[in-house]
Structures are given as structure tokens and as C-alpha cells.
Structure 1
């Protein structure tokens, strides 16, 4: 619910369709979700790099990077996690309206939050990419030593340890990052984008 009053929506002179025609490709959000250490950021950036190489307008919204700026006022309570995802969803929508293929890499642990973001987009604009990886493998990788800190009690409300992760029930794409190379994962995602005539 908006707290703003006396405001009116102003239609833009240039539409999303206009931008897509000019760009010669569609736009969407690839919403990467999964446990910490599953490979979300790595795969999202690899996809973005390949899009850029092909001349497709792209941008990456990464969870840690966003918390250094736009969402630096948020912690990791359930409320703050929900607000974190809400803000990112609104930013991603702006990129899609701009005719961009935007990739997001956020744990986004709650199904209800991801469903709420999906509702912001038109059909087939929101592509949920579940980067599936067993907790044991994520802990083995532990690139930021976050699981080790959580196990020692140094980090509270850590997803997968003392805060839940709700896996997607019907994602558009499931990437088994414990079984696939990054290159193969990128290929899987590009096949989907091509089948949907986004690129």
C-alpha cells in the first residue's frame, strides 16, 4: 500500500514495445534464486556476458551489490528480506520496461515474495531460474565463509541454517549447478530464451 497521496501516473511517450523494436530483441527478468553458494551470481554474470557479446541490452542486479547502495538500510529479518526483494522487483521492472534483459541474483528465500514480484510483470516477462544445489555442496564451497560463520553462531537468520529456504515449485528453468558446468548452465538458459523468442 502506497503512503504517497496526490500523485498521478504519467504515461511515457516511448513505450516498452518501442524500445524492444529498436533493440531488436525482447526484454525480461531472469530471477535467479537458490541457496548461498549455489552459483547464482556466477551463472547470472556468465549469462549477462554472453548477452552482451551478442549485442543484447543486459544488466545484472546482484544481492550483495544492491545491499551496498539501494538496500543498505536493510538487515536480514523476515520483514527486511521481503522489502529487499520488493525493491529489487520494482527496479527489475524498470529495466524490463526499458527493453533490457535483466538478471538478478538473490537468495529470495520466500515463495510469497517471489510470487509477489512475478505479479508485477506481464506473462513470460518473469523467468524464475532455480539454481538447485544441495546444502552440503553449498557449504563445501562456502566462498564467503558464511556457512562457517553461521554454524559458529556469528551470523543469525542465515538461510539454510536457521532461516528457511522455500524452493520454487514451478520454476521456468531449473539449473542443477552441482551437476552442470557454468557453460552448460548458460546454454540451458539461452535455449529457453530462444524458444520464447526473447532473443
Structure 2
């Protein structure tokens, strides 16, 4: 192939410095209806309100565009995650904090995504919500359809979900509201010098988990 990497003179560090922040990926993984998208969205609002530059990539949304040609076979799921990881790397190079909300059920795929990013720039957030709770929520009716055989290869029913062995942070949404969950994430980011604004904590404007988690 007649292609050559073109070196850019403007560095990732310079782009991040212009935004007064560090850039990295927050990768939310968990079952459908565990609360990944809701928490990522709420966290992005909190970060944006304090001046951080962010972008959220959601599993369903990218399948409307970038990954609309992919299905849900194991092979397509691998390619889905590979593309998202490469896009995430571009956002990080642009100095942006990127939040990714994807079931990403297989450990090897999450490890692949981690390997694409430089060390320390991939933060795995395991949204550890029991399958029974996710089925009770079932906001899109997907579990019901999977149980009735209308959907095949559905994670947690007839396709495996491999929980992370050593995620950077684990959030259990079963008995917590969105505000509490987001505060846990912000504390982690502050303790690891990824954000520095204490005023991010205690924002009471986020609705209850019970009505929003998906």
C-alpha cells in the first residue's frame, strides 16, 4: 500500500493544554439496561458544565452511522469495538475527554480497545448491575423479545457477557441514584488527577436512577 504516516507538528499535549485538561477515554461496559448510557450522559453534563471538553459515543447511536453496516455476530462485534477504539483515539489526540457507552461483552475486545490507546488513557468503567435488575428495567423491551426468541445473540441471554477482571472503577446502579453514581465517578477522576474541580460534586439536578437508567 502506498501510504505513509504524516507526522503532525501540533501535539496531543498541546491540544489538551489549550483546553486546560487531560484527555482520555472513559469506557462504560455492562449489560443492556445496566445504566451505561444514562451515567455517561449525566457525567458528560457535569464535566461540560465545569468547562471540560467532552464527547459521548453511544452504542446505539454509532450503529446509525459509522457502524450501520455491522450486525451482532461475534465478528461484527469485534469490528464494532475496533472502530470505536480508533475513533476514541482520534478524540484523545484532539485533547478531548471521550465517554464511550458500549456493552462490549468480550474481554478480548476491551483489551484490544485498551491496547489501541496509550497507557493510562483508557479507563474501564464496569457498570455492574445484576441481570435480574436489567431485565426488570428493560426500557426497550429487548430482554422480553430475547426470552421469546425474537432476538438472537442477545447479551446475557444467549450470548455471553464477560465481566471485567480488573476495571479501573466499578459502579453498581441497583440501589443508587444517578447523582450518587456520578459522584463516585468524579471522586475517582479527582483522586487520579484527571480532573481538579471539587465543585463538580453534589450537583442535585440529575433525576433519579429509577426512572432513567437504561
Counterpart for residue 126 of structure 1: 122
Q: Give the whole-Å Cα distance in 1 for the aligned partners of 2:17 and 2:122.
A: 19
User: Which residue of 20, 25, 28 maps to 2:21?
Assistant: 25
The worse-fitting range, judged by mean Cα deviation, of 99-108 and 8-17 is 8-17
User: Which residue of 36, 41, 45 maps to 1:40?
Assistant: 36
> Unaligned stretches of 5+ in structure 2?
196-214
Kindly indicate whether residue 158 of structure 2 is the aligned counterpart of residue 172 of structure 1.
no
Give the 3-state SS of the residue equivalent to 1:174 in structure 2: strand
The worse-fitting range, judged by mean Cα deviation, of 70-79 and 181-190 is 181-190
Q: Give the whole-Å Cα distance in 1 for the aligned partners of 2:44 and 2:165.
A: 25
Counterpart for residue 79 of structure 2: 83
TM-score by length of 2: 0.90
TM-score by length of 1: 0.96
Q: Give the whole-Å Cα distance in 1 for the aligned partners of 2:7 and 2:162.
A: 37
Q: Give the whole-Å Cα distance in 1 for the aligned partners of 2:108 and 2:94.
A: 26
Give the 3-state SS of the residue equivalent to 2:193 in structure 1: coil
Q: Give the whole-Å Cα distance in 2 for the aligned partners of 1:6 and 1:198.
A: 39
**RMSD across aligned C-alpha pairs, in angstroms?**
0.7
Shift >3 Å, 4+ stretches: none
Counterpart for residue 197 of structure 1: 193
Q: Give the whole-Å Cα distance in 2 for the aligned partners of 1:28 and 1:46.
A: 17
Alignment of 1:21-170 (within 5 A): 21-170=17-166
Q: Give the whole-Å Cα distance in 2 for the aligned partners of 1:86 and 1:179.
A: 33
